[in-house]
Structure 1
Amino acid sequence: MNFTQRAIAPLVLALVVAGCGSQPAEQEKAEKEEGHAGEEGLIRLTPQQVAAARIEVALPSRGGTGAITLPATVEGDPQGMQVVSAAIGGKVVALTRNLGQDVRRGETLAIVESREAASLKAEVEAARARLALAQSNLRREQRLFAERVSPEQDLIAARTAATEANIALRLAQQQVSAAGGGGGGLNRLGIGSPISGQVIARSVTLGQTVAADAELYRVANLSQVSVNLSLSPADAGRVRPGSTVEITAPGRRTTARVSFVSPILDEGTRFVPVIALIDNRAGQWRIGEPVTAAISVASSSSGIMVPAGAVQTVEGKPSVFVRVPQGFKAIPVALGQPSGNAVTILSGLSGREQIAVANSFTLKAELGKSEAVDED
């Protein structure tokens, strides 16, 4: 062996020994990473992927309150909506309001022309004339009685006639008032609005002949609207007048109050009708609009509460997805009684974890995919 070979041999030996020594360390590191990647129930997601999947996280809440969430429809307050009808038949000769216009209580909405209107007003004029005559006779009899010219019975008769004439006039005036009143002519009656509000429907056109009691307008006071809800008897037992109801729609949110909880089940649905009132002075809610109502109720448990949508079934067990640095991890839990749209967690969570509360089904689907890949 020459000098060059003797110099290279120790160097080759050192490299071989070093290579043999590093191989177990690298293999151990790879095996560790492989085992970590296959951690049961773990879904690896970056923050960008979590945001793209629209997965919302939140802390579980402690019991005490819950909510019953259900769809509803905005309706007019029954006490704030009135039908304006014609008390007598006739021809519509004037309409003073169009759809959407405001009106004050007592303002004329329509004028109806008819023979019946002429008859009612003529009766008022005749009754007024009879009263004037009866009052004149009464004054004369009072003077004659004071002069001891006329007997007392004549005075009594004159007083009685004046009283009857006054009653007849008031009756005739009330009949005109019930039919409408005003109108600007002997054969015309004006139909006034019974409440202040907004015209939401008009059923007639100018010149149309209408029958008695025909609907002319609908007027609604929309400063307060309502939502009608249907609850199961069990849920209705936890709701009281005054309970808070959160009303939501795309881009809007407000708070309503329960005003009525029916003591009787609806015969058709076998549910309990509940009415909640919304302050609508800002005019942001429209009648017929679909909304989501969440009624705040007392929880029957003081345990950890999570939204019902946060619970998914993983390998036959109820589970929630807890946020971890690598993404999310499915944690099996024991469930208690539901409370509206929330579920009580008896065990499995400490209450300090951040859990997926929206779109958790996406995580369940991703977990299923990763398990299928591992099996392959």
Structure 2
Amino acid sequence: MYKSSLLLGIVFLSTIQTASAAIDDIAINAKQIASLGIAISPLPAKQSGEVSGLPGQVIVPGNQLYVVSTPLPALIEQILVGVGDSVKRGQAIALLQSPALAEVQRGLLQSAAQKQLSRDNLARDQSLYKDGIISESRLRNSQALALEAQAAFSERRQMLRISGMSDSAITQLQSSSNLSSQLTVSSPIDGVVLEKTAGAGQRLDAAVPIFKIARVDSLSLEIQAPLAMVRDLKVGAPITIPAYNASGKLTAIGHSLTGTNQTVLLRGVILQGMKNLRPGQFVETSVGTSNGSGAQWEVSNGAIARLDGRAVVFVRTPQGFHAVTVKILNEGAQNSVISGTLKGVEQIATHGVSALKSSMMGIGDK
């Protein structure tokens, strides 16, 4: 009795398994495939340990970006460079007219005269003190006044340097005493002009940005990655930008989600192919994962169907198609990365998948 029950159970399970396999099979001939508009393509080349199709943007590293602003309230007289121009350090990039500059120059000349007067008074008092004519307190007072005059002169000189005047121009000002309201703005680095935010004829307050200049000898990437993908990523993982033949490595993985699309921000540095990219450019990237044991394939979203809470692709068989359950590792706008019990040599349906799905669900059967 026990053996009969056991045998009956085995037969029952075998019947269920056979029926389950049969459910995933669709019998359809070549003529029907053509009439339903079903297109068949080879499974794409296998990928191992890579998340592809991630949106990214090329950026300039923060330590290579400089903002050039107006040092004093001024009127822009002339802009000498444009966006995209290469500039050298110290090159004139704009001419300004600033009455405030003339005031600072006048202050320098006054402080220079006061410094010289205090030095002369100190020399005289040192001589008088040596002869015993004046007291030590008067000598110390002269010394303090000389130090104060020197500090005021250094402050005025530094203000002119901040305003954009070179040391040679300041020396010439001291010798000629000719005041000028024209101010030359120079590039702080060898780089490229990325942005121009003001034009000739504009009147600007102090510290208003005019240019953004950057060194572009190295570039970085900001990548948006789904939270589910982050667990398989590590700093140092390889990054590729296939469309532009560029590559680099992952340098940082964000710890918070963006408020809009709930993705994690990844940062990377581009090591090869920088000449093919431009700051601000949007690109599609691939990032290597630490879990590279499983094979992955990138297929079009049209090749994936969802049935009873599972994702499947339809593999061509001699009798028709067989639905193979797959796991979606990364779902993109056009393509998705999947894994599953596939060998990589299969032919899969890429168009007309809805007709195969309907056939499996019994829709349209008579």
Cα separation, partners in 2 of 1:210 and 1:58, compared to 1, 3 Å:
closer
- CA contact 2:225–2:265 (8 Å) conserved in 1: yes
Alpha-carbon offset, residue 119 of structure 1: 0.6
Secondary structure of 1:264 counterpart: strand
> Are 1:233 and 2:227 an aligned pair?
yes
Q: Distance in 1 between matches of 2:40 and 2:104?
A: 71
Alpha-carbon offset, residue 226 of structure 1: 3.0
> After the TM superposition, which residues 279-290 of structure 1 pair with which residues of structure 2 at under 5 Å, given as runs?
279=271, 283-290=275-282
Q: Which residue of 1 aligns with 2:339?
A: 344
Q: Distance in 2 between matches of 1:257 and 1:198?
A: 24
- Superposition RMSD in Å: 3.9
Number of equivalent positions:
312
Cα separation, partners in 2 of 1:320 and 1:189, compared to 1, 3 Å:
same
- CA contact 1:60–1:355 (8 Å) conserved in 2: no
Alpha-carbon offset, residue 219 of structure 1: 1.6
Alpha-carbon offset, residue 293 of structure 1: 1.0
The structure with more radius of gyration: 1
> After the TM superposition, which residues 79-228 of structure 1 pair with which residues of structure 2 at under 5 Å, given as runs?
79-182=63-166, 186-228=180-222
Quick one: percent identity of the two aligned structures? Answer: 18
Alpha-carbon offset, residue 96 of structure 1: 2.8
TM-score by length of 1: 0.67
- CA contact 1:223–1:283 (8 Å) conserved in 2: no
Q: Which residue of 1 aligns with 2:22?
A: none
Secondary structure of 2:275 counterpart: coil
> Are 1:294 and 2:286 an aligned pair?
yes
Q: Which amino acid aligns with 1:286?
A: R
- CA contact 1:314–1:364 (8 Å) conserved in 2: no
Alpha-carbon offset, residue 285 of structure 1: 1.0
Pick one of 257, 266, 275 that aligns with 2:249.
Answer: 257
Deviation track 1:211-243 (CA, whole Å, cap 9, x = no partner) reads 333332222222233332222333233333333
Secondary structure of 1:227 counterpart: strand
Cα separation, partners in 2 of 1:319 and 1:263, compared to 1, 3 Å:
closer
Alpha-carbon offset, residue 272 of structure 1: 2.1
Alpha-carbon offset, residue 313 of structure 1: 4.6
Deviation track 1:353-376 (CA, whole Å, cap 9, x = no partner) reads 52458xx504969989xx9xxx9x
Q: Which amino acid aligns with 1:238?
A: D
Cα separation, partners in 2 of 1:60 and 1:101, compared to 1, 3 Å:
closer
- CA contact 1:248–1:293 (8 Å) conserved in 2: yes
- CA contact 2:56–2:283 (8 Å) conserved in 1: yes
Cα separation, partners in 2 of 1:87 and 1:217, compared to 1, 3 Å:
same
Gaps in structure 2 of 5+ consecutive residues: 1-25, 32-38, 174-178
Q: Which residue of 1 aligns with 2:18?
A: none
Q: Which residue of 1 aligns with 2:345?
A: 354
- CA contact 1:224–1:280 (8 Å) conserved in 2: no
Pick one of 288, 296, 300 that aligns with 1:305.
Answer: 296
Alpha-carbon offset, residue 202 of structure 1: 2.8
Q: Distance in 2 between matches of 1:160 and 1:281?
A: 62
- CA contact 1:68–1:297 (8 Å) conserved in 2: no
Secondary structure of 1:263 counterpart: strand
TM-score by length of 2: 0.69
Cα separation, partners in 2 of 1:127 and 1:237, compared to 1, 3 Å:
farther
Q: Which amino acid aligns with 1:153?
A: S
Secondary structure of 1:88 counterpart: coil
Q: Distance in 1 between matches of 2:201 and 2:160?
A: 22
Q: Distance in 1 between matches of 2:273 and 2:298?
A: 33
